[in-house]
Amino acid sequence: MGKIKSFFALVLIFLSVSLSAQDLTVTGQVTDESTGEGIPFASVILKGTTHGVATDAEGNYSITVPSSGVLEFSSIGYQSTEMPVNGQRRIEASLKTDSEFIDETIVVAYGVQKKSSFVGAAEQVSGEKLATMSSTNISKSLEGAVAGLQTSSSSGTPGSSASIIIRGLGSVSASQEPLLVVDGVPYEGSLNSIASNDIESLTVLKDAAANSMYGARGSNGVIIITTKRGTSDRVSVTFDAKVGVNSRGVPAYDVITDPGDYYEMAWESFRNSVYYGGQMSLGQANAYASGALISDYLRYNVYKGIDDTELIDPTTGKLNPYAYDRKWTDNWNKDVFRNGVRQEYTLTASGGSEKTQAYMSVSYLNDEGYVPASGFERISVRGKIDQTIGRRIKVGLNLAYSNTTQNLYNSSESSGSFSNLFFFGQNIAPIYPIYQYDLETGAKLYGPNGEDLYDWGENRAYGQLSNPYGQLLTSKNEQISDNISSRGYIDIQILKDLKFTANVAYDVFLDKLDYYTTPVGGDAATVNGRGQQQTNRYTALNANQLISYTPTFGDHSLSILLGHETKSDVSYALSGHMTNFVDPNNSDFANAVVYQNLTSSTSEYFLQGVFARAEYNYANKYYLSGSYRMDASSRFAPDKRWGSFWSVGASWNAKQENFLIGVGWLDALRIKASYGTQGNDNIGVTKVYEDLYTISRVDGEASIVKAFRAAPDVTWEKSDNFNAGFEARFFDRLSVNADFFIKETKDMIYYRPLAPSQGEPSTQLVNDMDMKNTGIEFEVSADIIKTPNVLWNVTINGTHYKNAITKLPSDQPQTGYNTGNYWRSLGGSLYDFYLLEWAGVDPENGRAMYNVYSQSGTGGEFEGTTYSATNATQRAVGKSAIPDLYGGISTYLSFYGFDVSASLAYQIGGWTLDSNYQGLMGSGSVGTNWHKDIFDRWTPQNTDSQIPRLDNGDLEASQTSTRFLTKASYLSLRNVTIGYTFPKRITDKIAMQNLRIYLTGDNLWYTSKRKGLDVRQTFNGSTGFTYSALRTISAGISFTF
């Protein structure tokens, strides 16, 4: 242990590069007056300015301030205090519990600010909370964690990202993702490259006052990640180890698993198809179905000793009572999955002196998925150093490297492809095996080296020549990434209140993708194997220069910030495609014979901006803020590049008024409002004003095709945002925050259809649509028990908003129009469903019925029902995918060293189109499975059923309609953590500062309207055959010495 500590001390000294000089860097510790323990994430602010820092996990801080300055110390649940610097280089602060005013610092655009002086809407999540989750990608840790923030996850593959929107839908065709900022600079990489233990805090900026300083990129909100930095104390080393098990977090749909049940349903389906089709009498149809069940249709008989024609009794339609001994018991919904092992180890070191603070971490993660051949492996290293030079200069460097290897599962994950294990396993009948067996005896077959042989279904009625499980284990889909992230800064205190700051960041992202499909079986067998390889290089250079002026005149404080920013991104990709591989176990192109394709591309993006912000504070009661930014984006034509964005805001710290200072039950009351504009240039096109062509090769000749039609008039999407809210705390136990917001997106990007005479492409981008979100978000937090030894807190947050289209594209009917399964109309939401109306089942014959109107869309007269979906009318059905309310609930309990925390996420209302269930409720398709709900189908004895009769090949029974619209409400137990921190009397004896053991579980429980339905896949209410969410249970230990 001593050697490890000495090694990290040497590393920190090496990083420090001691730069001797005189300076007034103040260090110290903020502690709880009653316990003497350090207070993590407490605020240390230079009075009268927005210059400040947050303490680390042990309450230590370091800040550079004028010798005549005054420091303000504050933290949630404590009374604030002020201490003059007076030339001191170390100041210890003890805070009393209970407070007349609750305050903290938050990370904002280009700096740190006291929350009491911040007029915008923002919420901060501590790195400690994020680290309790076992998510490989921290974007998945945010579900239900922040009011106004909504996530969707189209894949549970380890390492995959969640999609995020803030305060509702933000665009039709452009990106809706928030801007990511890491240590003050926009970040273009994946969050799976950042270890959660390296994160100090994550701040979500929501409104114009918070986002407008990011101008062109702030329309969809901003997420600021601040990584940990060093302390001014002696070197401390922390080791955290976490080992656990991954399993499937959302179960499969409740499909038929018993072969006998399936044979009976299939028999009835085949019987009905010839009986109701008028081809045979009932007796003839019964005999026909029994005789042809295996030989003509299903091909596989799973039962030993039972002749194919005797499997189903033609007089009863029931399984032969002697059919009980099975040739195989393979289960496509269980046997293809495993329990994956998850292990994560992090070693960090932090320390320094008054002039130098350094931090270093090394982290290793291996996260096996529950699907074989899926997983994520990462090794990451981060080093950060802050150095004070003389009295006026401070410099810093932050370097991070990560190497990740991700096994991606497959390239068509959400599609209904036979290479998709979730689609295939859900829909294949339970009579078909995974492996090869002797179809007569049931003996399992093996290869020449004793290896398993997979049943590729040459004679199978379903998914012939396919076995996604075998394909996974004999193929390859791997992405290897190297990410290098660098940040540097210099602060120069020109005068007492005048400071110059320069930040620069350079990130490099290198990816190599290797996708190889085996020639042994599956869709690549006919070409003797298929391989695709791609290499990507993405570089991002960002630099900004800031001048801040923060004078104080008595009760008047002013903060002015002027800045300039440039951004330059370059992306390069090279990809190739070959077939006919000589060695089936070698995916290198040198092993392939037939060339299919080779292509490359280069793209560039440049952005330049200038900005200013002014803030005024009178007596810590009244706050005004205004900002202005101009950006130029290379994505638009030269005369459309510049956009201007601004914000104004004000807040009132009512508790500081004389008439409220003496009100004991009111600890804090702050009222705020803001209005402003942001932009969005993330439209998915590098140069929207130029035609884009693709060149293909046909018999050695070039074929040039226009892939994108130039749109020189397209410019920014713009977002106008209004926010009004309050923050209050009562009885030192109850905190209530609420915001009302209006977010109106104008000039939205829309792909306008063109006349066929204009050729390809058949669409062109235009700014021609507006949309508005109006909503409210809230957070209520209560300390139910609050004593020196016991703390129990419960917090709930929620968001409700209404999405309304306020301008339709000019080329579309102004009464409304449909796009896919959605109806777009003035006042309607972006995702109002447009479907056939389900009219139930005809009790006379069991056929599905649909409503007919005199016109589609809206209006018109009801004309009756029809059996034909073609003759039915698609309608705006008045149901939207947007939920009525979504949010999270969390609780934390600590007592005598033990801690227990739990977090839930919920959604109430909204609708989803459950296409997975739809596929399982057809009237019959050879070899395709059913949901168990089919047992309640219409029969002559069950005429009240609302499930159509079985009738093989009848596609009308399961057409996309309101029948499959399902409530999108859900409740998820996101995390439960139980831990124990050993008392200092024990850790002191073993030379440790801290020792904690814990047990944590993620995605422990999930419920929705239907088993297997995960409504969190998308924001638009659609479903797919995706890699279901991981459930992870881990045990860990963390100690510091």
pLDDT tens per residue, range 697-724: 777 777 888 888 999 999 989 999 999 9
| Total Cβ atoms within 10 A of residue 242 | 22
Q: Which two tokens stand for residue 928?
A: 């395709």
Which of 426, 444, 427, 447 has its CA nearest to residue 435?
444
Strand stretches in 952-993, DSSP E: 965-967, 970-981
Q: Which two tokens stand for residue 96?
A: 């009393």
Q: Is 362 helix (H, G, I), strand (E, B) or coil?
A: strand
Distance CA 960, CA 46 (A): 62
Distance CA 997, CA 652 (A): 44
804 Cβ neighbours under 8 A, 6+ residues apart: 771, 772, 773, 774, 827, 828, 829
Find how far residue 297's CA is from the centre of its chain: 43
CB 275 within 8 A of CB 283: no
| The Cα angle at residue 508 between residues 504 and 512, in degrees rounded to 5 | 170
Q: Which two tokens stand for residue 702?
A: 């070039």
Residue whose token pair is 């956009």: 643
Distance CA 564, CA 504 (A): 12
Strand stretches in 427-495, DSSP E: 476-495
The pLDDT, as a whole number, for residue 441 is: 92
| Total Cβ atoms within 10 A of residue 495 | 10
Residue whose token pair is 């104080």: 552
Find how far residue 891's CA is from the centre of its chain: 23
The pLDDT, as a whole number, for residue 103 is: 56
CB 246 within 8 A of CB 368: yes
Residue whose token pair is 């903060």: 559
Termini Cα distance of the chain: 9
pTM: 0.87
Residue whose token pair is 């008392």: 983
Positive or negative, the Cα torsion across 818, 824, 830, 832? negative
Residues in the chain: 1041
Tell me which DSSP letter residue 189 carries. S
Mark the ranges of the chain whose per-residue pLDDT is less than 50. 1-23, 99-102, 411
The pLDDT, as a whole number, for residue 23 is: 46
CB 731 within 8 A of CB 665: yes
Q: Which two tokens stand for residue 465?
A: 């020549």
Residue 1029 backbone phi and psi in degrees, to 5:
-60, 150
- Own/partner pairs, 590-594, CB within 8 angstroms, 24+ separation: 592/529, 592/531, 594/527
CB 479 within 8 A of CB 318: no
The pLDDT, as a whole number, for residue 518 is: 85
CB 912 within 8 A of CB 918: no
The pLDDT, as a whole number, for residue 415 is: 61
Q: Which two tokens stand for residue 197?
A: 């233990």
Distance CA 392, CA 311 (A): 90
| Total Cβ atoms within 10 A of residue 692 | 15
Tell me which DSSP letter residue 897 carries. T
| The Cα angle at residue 175 between residues 169 and 177, in degrees rounded to 5 | 70
The pLDDT, as a whole number, for residue 5 is: 45
The pLDDT, as a whole number, for residue 253 is: 96
Distance CA 825, CA 805 (A): 7
Q: Is 918 helix (H, G, I), strand (E, B) or coil?
A: helix
Strand ranges of the sheet holding 848-853, from the earlier edge strand across to the other edge: 838-841, 848-853, 862-866
Per-residue model confidence as pLDDT tens digits over 586-636: 999 999 999 988 999 999 999 999 999 999 999 989 999 999 999 999 999
CA torsion 961→964→965→969, rounded to 10°?
-170
Distance CA 181, CA 227 (A): 11
Which of 491, 487, 539, 565 has its CA nearest to residue 182?
487
The region that residue 887 occupies, defined by phi over 0 for left and psi between -120 and 50 for alpha, beta otherwise, is left
Q: At what angle do helices 282-292 and 259-275 cross, to 10 degrees?
A: 140
Distance CA 324, CA 303 (A): 7
